[in-house]
Every structure is written in structure tokens, then in C-alpha cells.
Structure 1
């Protein structure tokens, strides 16, 4: 029997926690290193983003600065590509890689890239599910057999959050692939060391998405095991 104060299924999360910690360390160290390596083209992240957007006829997408570090993102609702100051003004391999990656998302949006559309479609349910899934599940667990409906509802809601994380992987990998191809083909990065450096930055960032997906999948497995244990009581 599983008691509220003793839950042996927590051990399932250890691999994902280790991966998440490693991913954060890897991202910071890789970004710090390549943010000090200047690209031979000498252009800034903002200039690269603007040029690549214009080349893809996305003149309506605005490139602007956003506060913080590693807070770069593309907002499809407002068509704004936001870069942290370090990447907006920076001429490093890291800055150009990040700027091109976010441009990749803008291009995905314009081309109606199917995985991105799916992710955007389930985002409201996934966000709602990730907020309510655990409270509903553990309230149901507390009530025992009488709470099975709440447990099942919690698992269903969290499944949407897991699906969101899974779909995020091809979206991010595709954006990184587009970024590297554009940077090389347009001459912003030289083939060899510069492209390899930008690839390392984007690969390190991808680890964070892998870690988040692993954590979500193991959390879902944990809920299913707890639900099964309650049924057997």
C-alpha cells in the first residue's frame, strides 16, 4: 500500500533528474564557451535573424530584445522573435546559432509545420492538465477506492502534458537543423569549426527538451503504477 508520506515510485524519477541537472550544466558551459568565440562574418544575432526572416519573406516578424539570459524565443501569437541582449548584440557562434534557431521556429510557423501546429493546438489542454493533474490525482489517491475517478482524470490530463513534451522534440530538432543549414548556406558561419561550434550549442539546448520529456514520461508511469497499486488494495 502507498501512503502519502511514503512513495517508493519516486525512485523512477532519479534518471530524469540526473539528466536534467546534466543538461542544465551542459547548456551553461557550452553557451558560455561559444559565446566567447566570435564568428568570422562579424554580424550580430539580430542582423542574422532579420536577414534570414527577410529572405523567407517574413518581413512582418519583428526582432526585439527580451530581458534575461537564454530567454530567447519566437512568439507565434504576436509574430515577435525575441533575443536576449547577449544574443541580440552578440557576434559569437552561440548568438548566431540561437538567433537562427528562433528564426527556424518563425519559418515553421509560416509554413504551417505540422508538429508545430499540433503542439500549438494541444498547448491549452496541456497547460491546464499539467496544473491540475497532480492535485486531482493525489486527492483521489487520498480517498482510496472512492477517488478512482479523480485519479483517472488526473492521469488523462497529464497525458496531454506528456504529449506536448513529446511533440516538442521534433519541433526543436527541426528548427536547429534549419538554423545550421541557413547559417552555412548564407555564409554567416564557415563550414567546419564554426558550424560545429553552433551545432554544439544547439545540441546542448536540445538536451533540456530531452530531459523534460523523460521526466514527463516517468511521471506518467509513476501515476499509472500508483493507480494500479490503489486498485489492488
Structure 2
């Protein structure tokens, strides 16, 4: 009975991750086909927002890598892919603005932001690392398949719960954009509504990282792949 329950929990965890991944990818694809309401690029709109909020110490850096499109709170740098930084689509705006909003999460929120980023890193790298170790133990006949499945299910579920538990910080970042967007898009209500949908998808983006773990693990975690991460 316990084994069946664990399998159900594992399937639910994977289903939630798949939903988040699919929702993000489909909405961003639609947003990539929609032009932004003004001619500003992702980089420009992010800098406008940061200036609007008085966060003039943030540097926007273009970097095409496996791990990019994120804000580094330690170095106060916003890493964006070239197509995002130079793009004039709603998706480019959503990515750039959402990540730029993290620059306002200072003080007590800074610790929460760093914890959120730790949860994201665990979701990206721990699943594949855990599976690799467990498979090795099974091959060595140290671990039986039933126990191996229980361990995998426990790891995946714990990581998903940690990830979901810190999603409110992502939603908080979106809230910090409200004043700027209300002012900048006051004459573009339709675009504002679509941008809100994309910003929500940005908030849940990393929930699907459980399923992207092999990509992150093999392309940015193993020795010799560090050059693919922003410096």
C-alpha cells in the first residue's frame, strides 16, 4: 500500500512539473509572436523599470548560455540572452521585466531570494545526480529496485515542494512591476493583460525544472561545462 502511495505521489509531482513546463513554454511561444506595445527592447524596458524604481546600480549583461535570463543579487547583474535583451516581443519584455524586478527584493527579501535560487539549483541538478547515484547502487546490487523507486519519489517530491514553497517570491517580483506597468502601459490595456499572463508563467517557470534536470546536469554542472554559465 505504501509503495502504491509513493508511486501516486511521484506521478503527481511529475504531472505538476509537466504542467508548469508546458504552460510556460506554450505561453512564451505565443508571446514571442506578439510585438511589444512600444518599440523598446527587453534590455531597454528593464533599464527603464530599474531607473523608475531608483535601482541604477544594476548592470544588464547579454549572455547566451544554458543558465541565463536571471538576476544575480550578489553582483547586481541581470543576465539576458541576446534575443531577450534585443527582442521587442511581449515574451522578451516579460522575461526581462520579471528578472529585473528581483533587483528590488533587498533587505529581508534578499535572503528569501537567495533561498529561492538555491531551491532552483537543487531542482535543476539534484534529480539527475540522485538518479545517477541510485542507478549505480542498483547496478552494484546495493539497492533493490523497490527501495530505489521510493528514494527517487521522495527526492522528487521534496524538491517540488521546496520549489513550490518559494514561488510566492516570484509572484512578489511581479507585484513590484505593477506601478511601472500601470504608468507605462496605461494606453495599452490589452497588451498589459497579455503581459500579466506571461509574467505569471515566468513566476512558475522553474517549477518545471525537475524535468529539465538532465539538460542542466550534463550541459552546465559537469566538469568542463562551467564556461557555459554567466561569469
Into which bin does the TM-score normalised by the smaller protein fall? Answer: 0.5 to 0.7
Q: How far 1:61 moved relative to its partner?
A: 1.2
Q: How far 1:35 moved relative to its partner?
A: 1.5
Aligned to 1:173: 171
Q: How far 1:143 moved relative to its partner?
A: 8.1
Alpha-carbon distance between aligned partners in 2 of 1:88 and 1:123, rounded to the nearest angstrom: 22
Preserved contact between residue 42 and residue 93 of structure 2 (Cα < 8 Å): yes
Alpha-carbon distance between aligned partners in 1 of 2:87 and 2:196, rounded to the nearest angstrom: 17
Deviates more, 1:36-45 or 1:10-19: 10-19
Question: Which segments of structure 1 move beyond 6 Å, counting only runs of 4 or more?
Answer: 120-134, 157-160
Of the three residues 18, 21, 24, the one matched with 2:18 is 21
Q: How far 1:57 moved relative to its partner?
A: 2.8
Preserved contact between residue 120 and residue 209 of structure 2 (Cα < 8 Å): no
Q: How far 1:122 moved relative to its partner?
A: 8.4
The one-character-per-residue Cα deviations of 1:155-193 (angstroms, maximum 9, x if unpaired) are xx99985674244211111112223442232x1574421
> In the TM superposition, what are the counterparts of 1:19-98 in structure 2 within 5 Å?
19-68=16-65, 71-98=68-95
1:198 aligns with 2:191: no
> In the TM superposition, what are the counterparts of 1:147-158 in structure 2 within 5 Å?
none
Q: How far 1:115 moved relative to its partner?
A: 3.0
Alpha-carbon distance between aligned partners in 2 of 1:91 and 1:211, rounded to the nearest angstrom: 26
Tell me the TM-score normalised to structure 2 length.
Answer: 0.65
Aligned to 1:218: none
Which consecutive unaligned segments of at least 5 residues does structure 1 have? 145-156, 214-233
Which consecutive unaligned segments of at least 5 residues does structure 2 have? 144-154, 211-231
Preserved contact between residue 21 and residue 207 of structure 2 (Cα < 8 Å): no
Aligned to 2:216: none
